[in-house]
Structure 1
């Protein structure tokens, strides 16, 4: 059965196609400016460096030169990229996320699903799966020096941020369409059941593989205390904020209910995992504390270290304000999702909540599991 294309879909296709055309034509006509100093430096270069386990990569007249240290690439005249995120790349990913989200709205409209929060709960295992899949690549990267790595370049690029977002997105869409198809054919009562099973199964496979590596290699180790503490403190933060808002500011939760609490929990996981991994990893059994992976994390740590007394930093660390930032931001976002917004466009509202939760739970799960498996 075919569906006529709507005006909104044609507009979305034109905007996405136009943006892609600008980047392609700009890269062809102005390769040094558009490709090397924008696309490569902020988007592909970091992936390339991460995929090869390097600390930097330099664009040396088109030849990508890897470096073992952050300063090793400074000898080259061209742009230099490092693994991880920058403010420019994060803005680019945010714009891309909004575009993809709009496309998914058209998909759920065609499938006639997603007008309630059942879609959020059905997709929630995929949010955990995305973070766990990234840690699989982290673990494989830790094994690279031993010759035991099983995911080589260019395949490992599929599991590195931001490419992994598209990988998980594609897997999720395939699982969603398959689940809806099973429900329409009467194989299952509701599409949510096989969708949850698929996401939960993929997450379990990642964890099982990481446990196997921890049992069979010296580069990966198991420290379940990080997961226990992260989940426990995140649940405490979420429960405490739920009680406070329900008692003194009930309009915060009026438009989302428990879905809003899940969003707060997702960002609490990100905040708590960062605090524990950045400041308490050594005390909990790792050889050293981990380091920030995002510019916002690094900014918060730098500012706190600059203004907080040294004796306070020595006792409680300098990453703790990041948890407060995440919780306040999550509450403000949840507050924006009022009843009127849901009534006007329920599917877009539900998908937007899924996206907001993913922005917290994906990176948070990765940081939690990086510490849990010592990678």
Structure 2
């Protein structure tokens, strides 16, 4: 098995329109060639979180059955990309028309609004059901923040050129993957959650087989791998960012999304129970 359990292929009458619209959005953005800076990448962080909230609501059976497959994995990624891409296009035209000072500002505010609304729906539903448990998710975010600061300090001291070149984009990549590692470790070691991604499960089982598992759990190895992998990727991207910053930062945005999306999904899901 090479894909996580729970992957759902929606009916063709849902799949085809989303794929066509997504292709159109990508083609229009390709034609517009908007600049991709650190601020642009950071403005898309709330959209990554928005996609996570949609999938959490899917797991809570919050959507009507007719459209529910749109928010399953991996379809939710395409739906999120469509909405975020449309917001980006609108922001570009608003900026060109003088109605917005920057493109990134509108994208970031819109993404934050979307994420807040859908996350609050999940939280309010869990409060009504009595399943709201914020302690360990909050701990996960705090620990991930501390580890990210340490990792970025190490990167800045020993590989200064990498940190300076990748900037806030690099910091987001490290934080996203660190939070993914920490939330997965907390879920596996503390909350008894299962892991559906085969490779992640393999690393967790390797950590469980070590003598340290009885003392500090099995998840620490997964955290170490995630943090180390994020830093290695940034090192490999340094020259690419210097030579072709727009393309390189776009790819790094996807790398950040692969970490931050699952991380926020874990955190929010553990919070709403």
- Which TM bucket (shorter chain)? 0.7 to 0.9
Residue in 2 that maps onto 1:56: none
For 1:341, which of 237, 240, 244 is the aligned residue?
A: 240
| 2:255 equivalent to 1:361 | no
C-alpha separation in 1, matches of 2:35 and 2:152: 25
Q: Equivalent residue of 1:135, what SS?
A: helix
> 4+ residue runs of structure 1 moved beyond 6 angstroms?
41-45
Q: Does 1:151 align with 2:63?
A: yes
Distance 1:163 1:328, change over 3 A: same
Partner of 1:328: 228
Q: In the alignment, which residue of structure 2 is the partner of 1:308?
A: 210
Aligned ranges 1:200-219 → 2 under 5 Å: 200-218=112-130
Q: CA deviation at 1:204?
A: 0.3
Alignment pair present for 1:168 and 2:80 = yes
Tell whether the 8 Å contact from 2:3 to 2:197 is kept in structure 1 after alignment. Answer: no
**Aligned-pair CA distance for 1:44:** 11
Is 2:97 the partner of 1:185?
Answer: yes
The alignment status of 1:197 with 2:109, answered yes or no, reads yes
Provide the secondary structure at the position in 1 that maps to 2:60.
helix
Unmatched tracts of structure 2, length 5 or more: 11-21
- Pick closer, same or farther for the CA change 1:161–1:45 going to 2, 3 Å: closer
Query: How far is the alpha carbon of 1:313 from its aligned partner?
Result: 2.6
CA distance in 2, matches of 1:42, 1:136: 22
Q: Which residue of 2 aligns with 1:317?
A: 217
**What TM-score comes out, normalization by structure 2 length?**
0.87
Match in the other structure for 2:186: 276
Instruction: Give SS of 1:257's match.
Output: helix
- Post-superposition shift, 1:45? 7.9
SS at match of 1:291: coil
Matched residues in 2 for 1:176 and 1:359: separation?
20
**Maintained 8 Å contact 2:42/2:172:** no
Which residue does 2:133 correspond to in 1?
223
Partners of 1:255 and 1:337 within 8 A in 2: no
Equivalent position SS for 1:262: helix
For 1:169-227, what per-residue CA distance to the aligned partner results, in whole angstroms no more than 9, with x for missing partners? 11111111111111122211112222111100110011210122012225xx1111123
Report how far residue 109 of structure 1 moved.
Answer: 4.5
Are 1:252 and 1:331, in contact at CA under 8 Å, matched by a contact in 2? no
Unaligned runs of 5+ in 1: 1-37, 52-99, 141-149, 282-288
Measure, in 1, the Cα distance between the counterparts of 2:232 and 2:141. Answer: 22
CA deviation profile, 1:56-91 (whole Å, cap 9, x unmatched):
xxxxxxxxxxxxxxxxxxxxxxxxxxxxxxxxxxxx
Q: TM-score, normalised by structure 1?
A: 0.64
Aligned to 2:195, which of 275, 286, 292? 292
Note the C-alpha offset of 1:137.
1.0
Bigger relative CO (Cα 8 Å, ≥ 6 apart): 2
| Aligned CA-pair RMSD | 2.5
Instruction: Provide the residue aligned with 2:34 in structure 1.
Output: 113
Q: Aligned pair 1:258/2:168, yes or no?
A: yes
